[in-house]
Structure 1
Amino acid sequence: MLRDVTLRDGLQLTGKVLPTERKVEITRTLLALGVPELEIGSMARPDLVPPMANTMDLVAALEPEELQRCWVWVATPRQVARAAEAGVRNFQYCLSVSDAHNKANIGRTAEDSVAAMPEAIRLARQAGGSIQLCLATSFTCPFDGPVDPERVLAIATDPRTDGACDIVLADTLGQAHPAQVAALVEAVGARGGWGEAHRRIVFHGHDTWGMGVANSLAALAAGAAVVDGSLGGLGGCPFAPGASGNTASEDLLFATRPGWFDPKTLAALVDTTETLLSELGEPNRSRTAEGARSEATAFEWVTPALG
């Protein structure tokens, strides 16, 4: 299953605040096309991540049934409380496995973030919501280099994180390779008890080194239930030097072919992507989107450009 993260991870590095009404339009377009889940914003400080400044305005503009399919990034119990008050019901509690990146991103050690998670879980449940455990830098750290898988497994099996509904394993820098991704997903499932229907494993990949789709397919084969992507491969982490775009949603969908995805849906998705990236002044990194605009007209997935 795909979760599209355009409106959070995708927008982080653009430096532009997309108007709330435009975010609402993109959210509803993606949901209407059949994308099962979205990540729509973050509670990060707007002075540090300006494109997230109007996340709560977006939440206020959406209907409760739409918010049931949307996730919002949080890093502290206080952010969970604020988001819940605004109407958020799906919280992605994020910390970095690497202390160096967690300090750069959140301003505390990984242990501090884990220690605060039981309160975040309590607040999410009090609001009638769900909370994910998201582990950034699950494979490599921009400051410390390779991350020991045992550090990931220690957090995944820590009793303080036990109330999370899902675990997100993030290849923040896009430096992992398929065998490495498969091994970690399998280990988290075997030793952490994740991978059941009510405790999904989510893989969040980046395509920095061209492994985004391959790593995502390896994760799915190893037991992940969800993979993250963004329109046109937009995105990256402002606190991780060397991190470029996410894996393109179009490429993931073309590779996995869920039942709701067909040539007509791809055409609408590519149109949406091209319009958005033009507004933002960002390149389109999706190879599927490029292929869809080719001259191989005998292929049913090819579609002419707008205009």
Structure 2
Amino acid sequence: MSDSMLERPALRDVTLRDGLQLTGKLLPTDRKLDIARTLIGLGVPELEVGSMARPDMVPPMANTLEVISELTDEELDRCWVWVATPRHVEKAAAAGAKNFQYCLSVSDAHNQANIGRRTDKSLSDMPYAIEITRSIGGRIQLCLATAFSCPFDGVVPEQRVLDIVADPRTAGADDTVVCDTLGQAVPAQVTSLVRGVRETAPDRRAVFHGHDTWGMGVANTLAAITAGADVVDGALGGLGGCPFAPGASGNTSTEDILFATRPDYLDPAVFARLVETSDQLLAELDEPSRSKAARGARSNARAFEWVIGDPTVSSS
């Protein structure tokens, strides 16, 4: 894999949405804004900043509208909000959001558990969500959860995913996001599906959203890049998971993806700040870091320029 290929995709950090939704803790609006602005300042090109899911169902997302309303227009250009209905789009747009990740599950069982309706109903509503988005000059993604496997139905046929991508009701989407919701996919599956998505909808960006449940997060992300993914998702410290998908664990780590892909904006100093930002957040949430790159950065291999050392170990 060439260096140019590794640098091709953009990273979208999903800490403030997928990363937080299983933590059970509501971060204050100011803290979420601080994290978003830190990541943007470090060069991360895109972020997920929240979800329109019901606060009683996903409490850590309760202040999403407040976060959106405090972000500047320039910041909002780089931020995405999870939505599942046209009404979600309307409410988020009224707060100032411009970019919407319209999510539905490929499997009916998970869509019913996650969103409370069958997949076909979500598809039937998507043209209205697209219409609202276009009316404000925004962007909208077709986001396909359980694109590889479902916790209730098992393996999801690839053709089922491609049929949804080709469905006329999704016409007008700017991107297609394929999600390994359970982290059960392997690189060959990711390569095949991402290629199929690009061939089926060549006018859209292809986005890969992976989880690291079975240790394949980085491998699957690199497979997606090789297959032509334009954007890949990650979360600080590998935080995250779906509250309505038994067996799902954290996202692929932002630190691990960036260390592997080395985008132009990443150097050892930026990486050190990223690791420190992640460490601080994880400590606040009382969550462990699942990032192997962050663990490596805290090692004592001082001759390696990416090492920042363990702050608990004295240098004397």
Q: TM-score range by the shorter chain?
A: over 0.9
1:294 alignment partner, SS class: coil
Deviation at 1:306, TM superposition (A): 4.6
- 1:133-172 mapped onto 2 (5 Å cutoff): 133-172=142-181
1:93 alignment partner, SS class: strand
Quote the Cα distance in structure 2 between the aligned partners of 1:165 and 1:66.
19
Alignment equivalent of 1:26, drawn from 31, 35, 44: 35
Q: Does 1:289 align with 2:294?
A: yes
The answer to whether the 8 Å contact 2:299/2:310 transfers is no
The answer to whether the 8 Å contact 2:98/2:136 transfers is yes
Q: Does 1:47 align with 2:56?
A: yes
Which 4+ stretches in 1 moved above 3 angstroms?
none
Alignment equivalent of 2:207, drawn from 202, 208, 215: 202
Alignment equivalent of 1:61, drawn from 58, 70, 88: 70
Deviation at 1:187, TM superposition (A): 1.1
Identity %: 68
Question: Partner letter of residue 277 of structure 2?
Answer: T
User: What TM-score results when the alignment is normalised by the length of structure 1?
Assistant: 0.98
Alignment equivalent of 1:6, drawn from 3, 8, 15: 15
Alignment equivalent of 1:98, drawn from 91, 94, 107: 107
Question: Partner letter of residue 129 of structure 1?
Answer: G
Alignment equivalent of 2:98, drawn from 78, 89, 104: 89
1:255 alignment partner, SS class: helix
Give the aligned CA root-mean-square deviation in angstroms: 0.8
Q: Does 1:236 align with 2:241?
A: yes
Q: Does 1:17 align with 2:19?
A: no
With over 3 angstroms needed to count, the CA separation of the structure-2 counterparts of 1:189 and 1:8, relative to structure 1, is same
**Which residue in 2 is equivalent to 1:270?**
275
Question: Partner letter of residue 286 of structure 1?
Answer: S
- The gaps in structure 1 that reach 5 residues or longer are none
Q: Does 1:181 align with 2:186?
A: no
1:46 alignment partner, SS class: coil
The answer to whether the 8 Å contact 1:177/1:215 transfers is yes
Quote the Cα distance in structure 1 between the aligned partners of 2:311 and 2:208.
33
The answer to whether the 8 Å contact 1:201/1:224 transfers is yes
Deviation at 1:61, TM superposition (A): 1.0
Quote the Cα distance in structure 2 between the aligned partners of 1:298 and 1:97.
47
1:133 alignment partner, SS class: strand
Quote the Cα distance in structure 2 between the aligned partners of 1:193 and 1:100.
26
1:260 alignment partner, SS class: coil
The answer to whether the 8 Å contact 1:200/1:224 transfers is yes
Quote the Cα distance in structure 2 between the aligned partners of 1:166 and 1:11.
23
The answer to whether the 8 Å contact 2:68/2:96 transfers is yes
Describe the superposition over 1:200-240 as per-residue Cα deviations: whole angstroms up to 9, x where unpaired. Answer: 00000000000000000000100111100000000000000
**Which residue in 1 is equivalent to 2:303?**
298
**Which residue in 1 is equivalent to 2:256?**
251
**Which residue in 1 is equivalent to 2:231?**
226
Quote the Cα distance in structure 2 between the aligned partners of 1:47 and 1:88.
22
Quote the Cα distance in structure 1 between the aligned partners of 2:149 and 2:277.
32
Quote the Cα distance in structure 2 between the aligned partners of 1:277 and 1:193.
38
The answer to whether the 8 Å contact 1:271/1:305 transfers is no
Quote the Cα distance in structure 2 between the aligned partners of 1:302 and 1:202.
30
2:53 alignment partner, SS class: coil
**Which residue in 1 is equivalent to 2:82?**
73
The answer to whether the 8 Å contact 1:138/1:172 transfers is yes
Deviation at 1:193, TM superposition (A): 2.3
**Which residue in 1 is equivalent to 2:266?**
261
Quote the Cα distance in structure 1 between the aligned partners of 2:197 and 2:309.
43
Quote the Cα distance in structure 2 between the aligned partners of 1:41 and 1:227.
17
**Which residue in 2 is equivalent to 1:132?**
141
Quote the Cα distance in structure 2 between the aligned partners of 1:83 and 1:306.
40
Q: Does 1:193 align with 2:201?
A: yes
User: What TM-score results when the alignment is normalised by the length of structure 2?
Assistant: 0.95
Quote the Cα distance in structure 1 between the aligned partners of 2:290 and 2:45.
22
